[in-house]
């Protein structure tokens, strides 16, 4: 018993001593956590350098765009050929990817040798050899008669400008064939294949092994967005935001970047980490000075590093009693598989002895322990370095996504990672320590990188096919100039119809006289109340106009109108309005004052005078009963009476377009048009009295509220209305009405977008084909969301975030499509609006017999104000369709309430002399 304890003690002591000895000797190879964090930070900088256009040429980490933009979604199918060249083994494969609802991939493969004469000989011969192997494979598999797409896994750094092309930057690892560097390896292989007259293959994709690995793993786990190889060489790829990739045009979506991290340190960035052994190893390699990071990590070099260390230790008498063997002096005698064997948990020590004896050495127990520990330090350093670089990538992914925690999967491959007993465990542990805010799953690619390469090839053809379907839908919304001119012409005709007595009753554009005949002249003054009902907000205002100085002071309060009131009874609605007025008067300390009031009421009203307006029909979101056909001024008066608390002098009822025109006209007398692009869409303008057949008199001008929202209600726009427009119409409060408004205004654009998204989802082109409850919900895309989504400054992930806020769980690819859909819908809206406006300015120009017309349009509405592109496209369209009109757009900063007050003031002034008379 005692002897056993003594033995154990002796052994423990021996082990401790040896370990201490090696630790001391290799202390420079043991990297502390701080050092790893430091390396991680350095690698982050390297990535930035590689991605940016101006620093890329001199960057050592090349960050190569791969033109792989999407991970597999399970819908890939087809039969593919694949080549896998550059790892420890060369393979030719046939990959059958079948869809039909189940994810299954069948592969048949054949290994072929790659002797040094081939890998380090003449480049053309290398490709001819590859083509020969391919031909051989196709013959044995009886594929010669088929034309198959081929995915080419080529595990060397290539600069790609498209998926099916790649210029070799430099050979790495064991390859050094002449005359290949700086040439496109795809065309080289194509040329070689062409020599086989009986073979017909189409190389669709060139894929690095890291990319293939990522794709292989992503097929099983959609969270996989990183691929790492720790094999003969080492490298990693990951999905980067396009907006960060300077070298490729476009900001949408993501693209896989092949980092080529093996070259990290080639510019001297790791000199403080490298040891004398690393330098010695490098000098004896095929590519001195290159791939310095790789040389500290990967399988081709680990054994050699161990050998160099053991040799040095033997030389200094620290091992084998100073004895060396010729094998120990021979390059390449220790391989990675030996290192792995020596580090095996149980048999490790015995393996070590055996391996050392095979090298012609006579190791003692102590030597074996020491050598085993050397292996541990070298392979641990390798895992540590990989972990640091991988941690940098993970951090980058997390930051790109602006997440506090990242959940992600890393696809892994490579013999070192696969055969070394300790390696994966160590790597995982260190990564988790370095990036505690990432939940990382490491997924081993069981079937190599070619499954993924076939997937890339399949994805490319899927994306192509789906793109075509999406484009077909979007094309319905892209209007040609001819179509826009058509809209302009029809609008022009409708305007004339509405003005003429005979055609007026049937006209869809109602051209309502407003009895507003003049612009403010600056002499108006006094205190007025104003109501502003019908836009996004209901406001009550107090407007103080001072004469002479054209200065106006306003006080206002926004009140909510609950949905049940908007769609309840008329009495309830007007009682609610009066309640709000009472609150406002109280709030302003004006209780009991009998002020003149201007009522902005943004719905179509037939007027017989400035203070009478019969509601023709509700539009937008209102549908209170017992109002249509009634005079809204009377209804307001009655509600005031019912309340019996105060009295008001209702002087004018004004459409919001008219109020807007007046607001702007107060500053710019040339403003003779008012435009609203908001919840609804409408326009008013100053028309010659002689053209207004519905009102007596030919002198001067009167403002006409066109109510152009009703344009198209007679079917005259049916050729451009899509099924989506029809669906929106059918789901609205006023089916069949306001068709133009429903294609151009804020209340409906989001609904059109929603209908398109539903359609695309049904076709399986979005949201993985799943229509969520949220997407079924009416009104989720308010104007403000559309405006945010379309903002140019937004990264795709922010778009995705907005969609997520809206309850739509979208991928990045989905987000691109959603943004595009928003884009075509709002663009069409702006163009249609522009065509309408072009009709009116042209009419004014012609009516006045002018060669050129200068006119100002006062504009208001959330769509115009908030949307990042609407106003620009609208203006461009007007310019294009009405080239002889110089149209100035003036944004109404103060809303239409100010204009309503001005109209009230003018009306009051005109009333005065009448009363005096």
Binding site for ligand GLC (CB under 6 A): 86-87, 155-157, 172-173, 208-210, 229, 231-235, 260, 262, 294, 534-535, 602-604, 619-620, 655-657, 676, 678-682, 707, 709, 741
- 25 vs 417 by CB, closer to ligand BG6: 417
Q: How far is the CB of 297 from ligand GLC (least distance, A)?
A: 9
600 binds, among ligand GLC, ligand BG6, none (CB under 5 to 8 A by kind): ligand BG6
672 binds, among ligand BG6, ligand GLC, none (CB under 5 to 8 A by kind): none
Q: Round to whole Å and give the CA distance between 799 and 790.
A: 8
Written as six digits, the tokens of 134 are 């391919």
872 within 8 A of 832, measured Cβ to Cβ: no
585 within 8 A of 595, measured Cβ to Cβ: no
- 172 vs 810 by CB, closer to ligand GLC: 172
Do β-strands 148-154 and 78-85 pair in parallel, antiparallel, or remain unpaired?
A: parallel
Q: Round to whole Å and give the CA distance between 501 and 212.
A: 73
Asked about 539 being catalytic, the answer comes back as: yes
905 sits in which H/E element? helix 896-916
260 binds, among ligand GLC, ligand BG6, none (CB under 5 to 8 A by kind): ligand GLC
896 binds, among ligand BG6, ligand GLC, none (CB under 5 to 8 A by kind): ligand BG6
Partners of 17 in the β-ladder? none
Strands (E), 181-270: 201-207, 224-230, 234-241, 254-258
860 binds, among ligand BG6, ligand GLC, none (CB under 5 to 8 A by kind): ligand BG6
Q: How far is the CB of 219 from ligand GLC (least distance, A)?
A: 19
156 binds, among ligand BG6, ligand GLC, none (CB under 5 to 8 A by kind): ligand GLC
Partners of 202 in the β-ladder? 149
Q: Round to whole Å and give the CA distance between 690 and 501.
A: 12
What is the residue-wise DSSP string for 355-405?
HHHHTT----HHHHHHHHHHHHHHHHHHHHHHHHHHHHHHHHHHHHTT-SS
Instruction: Map the footprint of ligand BG6 across residues 521-560, applying CB under 6 A.
Output: 532, 534-536
Site string for ligand BG6, 653-692 (x = CB under 6 A): ---x--x----------------x-xx-------------
| Residue appearing with tokens 């004004």 | 654
Instruction: Map the footprint of ligand BG6 across residues 560-619, applying CB under 6 A.
Output: 600, 602
423 within 8 A of 379, measured Cβ to Cβ: yes
Q: How far is the CB of 414 from ligand GLC (least distance, A)?
A: 7
Calculate the alpha carbon distances from 666 to 530, 602, 663, 832, 898 in Å: 16, 20, 6, 28, 9
Spatial CA neighbour of 499 closest among 735, 884, 847, 859: 847
210 within 8 A of 229, measured Cβ to Cβ: yes
Spatial CA neighbour of 602 closest among 572, 641, 566: 566
- 409 vs 745 by CB, closer to ligand BG6: 745
Residue 626 has a CB neighbour count (10 Å cut-off) of 12
The size of the interface with ligand BG6 (CB under 6 A), counted in residues, is 37
Q: Round to whole Å and give the CA distance between 541 and 529.
A: 6
655 binds, among ligand GLC, ligand BG6, none (CB under 5 to 8 A by kind): ligand GLC
610 within 8 A of 649, measured Cβ to Cβ: no
- 232 vs 285 by CB, closer to ligand GLC: 232
- 448 vs 534 by CB, closer to ligand GLC: 534
449 forms part of the interface with ligand BG6 (CB under 6 A): yes
Options 227, 253, 448, 750; binder of ligand BG6; rule CB under 6 A: 448
Options 86, 166, 411, 598; binder of ligand BG6; rule CB under 6 A: 86
- 72 vs 233 by CB, closer to ligand GLC: 233
746 binds, among ligand GLC, ligand BG6, none (CB under 5 to 8 A by kind): ligand BG6
Q: How far is the CB of 241 from ligand GLC (least distance, A)?
A: 22
Site string for ligand BG6, 114-143 (x = CB under 6 A): ------------------------------
Q: Round the CA-based radius of gyration of the chain to a whole number and report it.
A: 38
Strands (E), 217-304: 224-230, 234-241, 254-258
657 binds, among ligand GLC, ligand BG6, none (CB under 5 to 8 A by kind): ligand GLC
The DSSP letter of residue 437 is T
Give the number of C-alpha atoms closer than 13 A to the C-alpha of residue 790, restricted to the C-beta side.
24
155 forms part of the interface with ligand BG6 (CB under 6 A): yes
413 binds, among ligand BG6, ligand GLC, none (CB under 5 to 8 A by kind): ligand BG6
Catalytic, out of 656, 729, 860, 894: 656
Phi and psi for 605 in degrees, rounded to 5? -125, 135
Catalytic, out of 60, 445, 602, 681: 602
229 forms part of the interface with ligand BG6 (CB under 6 A): yes
- 371 vs 900 by CB, closer to ligand GLC: 900
87 forms part of the interface with ligand BG6 (CB under 6 A): yes
Calculate the alpha carbon distances from 776 to 132, 464, 534, 781, 789 in Å: 57, 28, 26, 11, 19
Do β-strands 512-513 and 701-705 pair in parallel, antiparallel, or remain unpaired?
A: antiparallel
84 binds, among ligand BG6, ligand GLC, none (CB under 5 to 8 A by kind): ligand BG6
- 109 vs 798 by CB, closer to ligand GLC: 109
Site string for ligand BG6, 173-212 (x = CB under 6 A): ------------------------------------x--x
Q: How far is the CB of 663 from ligand GLC (least distance, A)?
A: 14
Asked about 398 being catalytic, the answer comes back as: no
47 within 8 A of 259, measured Cβ to Cβ: yes
Written as six digits, the tokens of 706 are 């066109």
Q: How far is the CB of 543 from ligand BG6 (least distance, A)?
A: 12
Written as six digits, the tokens of 632 are 């809204």
Q: Round to whole Å and give the CA distance between 687 and 704.
A: 6
Catalytic, out of 539, 739, 754, 827: 539
Asked about 274 being catalytic, the answer comes back as: no
Q: Round to whole Å and give the CA distance between 369 and 670.
A: 95
- 204 vs 229 by CB, closer to ligand GLC: 229
Instruction: Map the footprint of ligand BG6 across residues 310-349, applying CB under 6 A.
Output: none
Q: What is the 3-state secondary structure (H, E, C) of 503-544?
A: CHHHCCCCCEECCCCCCCCCCCCEEEEEEEECCCCEEEEEEE
Written as six digits, the tokens of 29 are 């190879």
- 788 vs 896 by CB, closer to ligand BG6: 896
Q: How far is the CB of 308 from ligand BG6 (least distance, A)?
A: 21
Q: Round to whole Å and give the CA distance between 900 and 908.
A: 12
709 binds, among ligand BG6, ligand GLC, none (CB under 5 to 8 A by kind): ligand GLC
What is the residue-wise DSSP string for 356-367?
HHHTT----HHH
861 forms part of the interface with ligand BG6 (CB under 6 A): yes
- 741 vs 842 by CB, closer to ligand BG6: 741
Question: Among all residues, which ones are annotated catalytic?
Answer: 539, 602, 656
Q: Which residues lie near ligand BG6 (CB under 6 A)? A: 84, 86-89, 153, 155, 209, 212, 229, 231-232, 299, 413-415, 448-450, 532, 534-536, 600, 602, 656, 659, 676, 678-679, 746, 860-862, 895-897
């Amino acid at each position: 018993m005692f002897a056993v304890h003594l033995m154990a003690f002796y052994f423990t002591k021996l082990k401790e001593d040896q370990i201490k000895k090696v630790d001391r000797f290799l202390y420079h190879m043991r990297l502390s956590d701080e050092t790893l964090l430091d390396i991680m930070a350095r690698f982050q900088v390297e990535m930035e350098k590689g991605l940016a256009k101006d620093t890329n040429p001199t960057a050592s980490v090349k960050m190569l765009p791969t033109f792989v933009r999407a991970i597999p979604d399970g819908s890939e199918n087809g039969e593919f050929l694949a080549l896998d060249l550059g790892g420890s083994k060369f393979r030719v494969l046939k990959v059958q990817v079948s869809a039909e609802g189940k994810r299954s991939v069948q592969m048949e493969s054949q290994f072929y040798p790659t002797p040094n004469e081939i890998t380090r000989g003449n480049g053309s011969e290398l490709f001819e050899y590859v083509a020969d192997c391919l031909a051989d494979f196709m013959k044995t598999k009886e594929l010669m008669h088929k034309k198959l797409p081929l995915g080419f896994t080529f595990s060397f750094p290539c600069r790609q400008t498209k998926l099916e092309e790649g210029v070799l930057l430099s050979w790495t690892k064991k390859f050094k064939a002449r005359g290949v560097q700086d040439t496109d390896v795809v065309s080289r292989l194509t040329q070689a294949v062409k020599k086989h007259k009986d073979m017909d293959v189409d190389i669709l994709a060139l894929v690095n092994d890291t990319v293939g690995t990522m794709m292989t793993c992503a097929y099983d786990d959609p969270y996989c967005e990183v691929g790492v190889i720790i094999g003969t060489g080492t490298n990693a790829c990951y999905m980067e935001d396009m907006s960060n990739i300077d070298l490729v045009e476009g900001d949408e979506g993501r693209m896989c970047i092949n980092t080529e991290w093996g070259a990290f340190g080639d510019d001297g960035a790791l000199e403080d980490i490298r040891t004398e052994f690393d330098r010695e190893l490098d000098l004896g390699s095929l590519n001195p000075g290159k791939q310095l990071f790789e040389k500290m990590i990967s399988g081709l070099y680990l054994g050699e590093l161990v050998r160099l260390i053991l040799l040095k230790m033997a030389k200094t008498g620290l091992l084998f009693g100073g004895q060396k063997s010729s094998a120990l002096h021979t390059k390449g005698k220790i391989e990675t598989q030996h290192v792995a064997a020596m580090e095996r948990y149980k048999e490790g020590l015995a393996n070590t002895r055996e391996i050392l004896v095979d090298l012609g050495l006579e190791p003692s127990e102590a030597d074996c322990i020491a050598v085993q520990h050397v292996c541990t330090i070298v392979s641990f350093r390798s895992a540590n370095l990989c972990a640091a670089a991988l941690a940098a990538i993970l951090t980058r992914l997390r930051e790109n996504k602006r997440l506090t925690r990242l959940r992600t999967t890393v696809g892994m491959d490579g013999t070192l990672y696969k055969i070394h007993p300790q390696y994966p465990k160590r790597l995982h542990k260190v990564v988790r320590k370095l990036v505690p805010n990432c939940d990382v799953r490491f997924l081993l690619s069981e079937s190599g990188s070619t499954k993924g390469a076939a997937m890339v090839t399949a994805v490319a053809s899927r994306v192509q096919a789906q793109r075509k379907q999406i484009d077909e839908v979007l094309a319905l919304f892209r209007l040609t100039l001819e179509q826009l001119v058509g809209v302009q012409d029809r609008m022009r005709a409708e305007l004339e119809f509405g003005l003429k007595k005979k055609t007026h009753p049937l006209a869809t554009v109602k051209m309502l006289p407003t009895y507003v005949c003049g612009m403010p002249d600056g002499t108006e003054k006094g205190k007025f109340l104003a109501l502003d009902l019908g836009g996004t907000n209901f406001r009550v205002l107090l407007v103080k106009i001072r004469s002479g100085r054209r200065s106006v002071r306003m006080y206002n309060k926004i009140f909510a109108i609950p949905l049940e009131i908007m769609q309840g009874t008329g009495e309830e609605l007007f009682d609610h309005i009066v309640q709000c007025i009472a609150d406002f008067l109280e709030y302003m300390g004006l209780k009991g004052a009998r002020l003149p009031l201007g009522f902005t009421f943004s719905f179509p009203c037939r007027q017989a005078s400035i203070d009478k307006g019969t509601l023709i029909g509700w539009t937008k979101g209102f549908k209170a009963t017992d109002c249509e056909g009634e005079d809204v001024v009377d209804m307001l008066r009655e509600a005031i009476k019912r309340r019996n608390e105060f009295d008001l002098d209702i002087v004018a009822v004004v459409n919001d377009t008219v109020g807007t025109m007046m607001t702007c006209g107060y500053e710019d007398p040339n403003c003779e048009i008012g435009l609203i692009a908001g919840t609804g869409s409408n326009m008013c303008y100053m028309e010659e009295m002689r053209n207004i057949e519905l009102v007596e008199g030919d002198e001067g001008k009167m403002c006409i509220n066109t109510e152009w929202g009703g344009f198209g209600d007679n079917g005259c726009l049916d050729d451009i209305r899509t099924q989506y427009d029809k669906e929106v119409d059918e789901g609205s409060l006023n089916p069949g009405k306001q068709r133009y408004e429903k294609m151009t205004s804020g209340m409906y654009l989001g609904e059109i977008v929603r209908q398109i998204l539903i359609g695309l989802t049904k076709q399986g082109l979005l949201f993985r084909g799943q229509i969520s409850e949220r997407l079924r919900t009416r009104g989720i895309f308010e104007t403000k969301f559309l405006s945010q989504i379309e903002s140019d400054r937004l990264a795709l992930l922010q778009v995705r975030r907005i969609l997520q806020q809206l309850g739509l769980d979208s991928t990045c690819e989905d987000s691109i499509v959603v943004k595009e859909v928003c884009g075509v819908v709002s663009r069409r809206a702006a163009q249609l609006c522009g065509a309408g406006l072009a009709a009116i300015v042209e009419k004014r120009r012609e009516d006045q017999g002018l060669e050129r017309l200068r006119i100002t349009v006062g504009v208001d509405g959330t769509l115009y104000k908030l949307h990042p592109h609407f106003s620009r496209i609208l203006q461009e369209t007007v310019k294009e369709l009405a080239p002889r009109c110089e149209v100035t757009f003036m944004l109404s900063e103060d809303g239409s309430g100010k204009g309503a007050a001005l109209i009230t003031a003018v009306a009051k002034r005109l009333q005065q002399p009448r009363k005096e008379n």
